[in-house]
Copies of this chain bind each other. A is one copy, B any other.
Amino acid sequence: MNPLEGILETALYAEDLDKVEAFYAGVLGLQKITRAGNRHVFFRCGPGVLLIFNPEETMQPPEPGSLPVPPHGTKGSGHACFRISRQNIDAMAESLKAAGVAIESDFHWPNGGRSIYFRDPAGNSLECAEAIIWGLD
């Protein structure tokens, strides 16, 4: 049994946190946990947490006296995929379109299971997929 029980935090990066907060909270309906100025905004998502960081700030070493969280940060389009059940994918696709978010791809994988892809305001590639694409239910 591996002691790593799952992924607790998934991170994406965006420089305009106002836009991403409006998107993840407003369009995707995720519950915001906290926001720290223009450094980060964090969301609860099922049994895990989605972290959105501004790399301009997180690439800096921690300030003296603060917790020693190591620096990190990326540029470019990251990727994350949300788990969704088959009966909810159509409604999610409609909800995205109604919010003006383009569906970039929508297909079934060879092993069964559907994925829809779209972008967050920072250009990250997001996906909603049935867990069956990984043999999970």
Contact = CB atoms under 8 A, between A and B. Distances in A.
Interface of A: 2-11, 13, 28-31, 33, 44-51, 53, 55, 59, 67-85, 88, 91-92, 104-105, 107, 109, 117, 119, 124-125, 127-129, 131, 134, 136
A134 B5 contact: no
Copies in the complex: 2
Q: Identify the interface centre among A69, A79, A82: most chain B CB within 10 Å of its CB.
A: A79
A78 B72 contact: yes
Nearest to A51: B79
Contacts of A117: 69-70
A49 B134 contact: yes
Contact of A6 (B4, B45, B107): B45
Nearest to A117: B70
A36 to B, nearest CB: 14
B81 A74 contact: no
B6 A125 contact: no
B105 A70 contact: yes
A80 B50 CA distance: 10
A51 B9 CA distance: 14
Nearest to A128: B4
